[in-house]
Amino acid sequence: MLEDWLLDILVCPEDKGPLWYVPGEDLLYNPRLHRRYAITDGIPNLLIDEASAADDADHERLSALAAAGEGVRVTGGGGDTGAEAG
């Protein structure tokens, strides 16, 4: 689980927008770029070259989690749920 203070400042390294934090999957996700950033041993890997692309099905699944408020949090001071981030 990432600390609140860290979630408050984390943004995507490419577009500088908020990320969706999915703690159950150790994942930070950029829904605008469909990009997944892994969290390993509690450390977010925000290197663009090491991120992975989400396919349409994965994007829809993550969007549904965010819309349902299933533990997804928006980083960068973006609030508690990613549903409005789109």
Output the pLDDT for position 86.
43
Residue 18 clears pLDDT 90, i.e. is over it: yes
32, 38 contact by CB (below 8 A): no
Domain count for the chain: 1
Q: Which residue segment(s) compose the domain that 21 sits in?
A: 4-85
Q: Taking the model in full, what pTM does it have?
A: 0.87
For residue 57, what pLDDT is reported? 98
CA angle 85, 81, 1 (to 5 degrees): 120
In SS3 terms, 19-71 reads as CEEEHHHCEEEECCCCEEEEEECCEECCCHHHCEECCHHHHHHHHHHHHCCCC
pLDDT tens readout for residues 27-84: 999 999 999 999 999 999 999 999 999 999 999 999 999 999 888 999 996 655 444 4
CATH of the domain at 34: 2.20.25.10
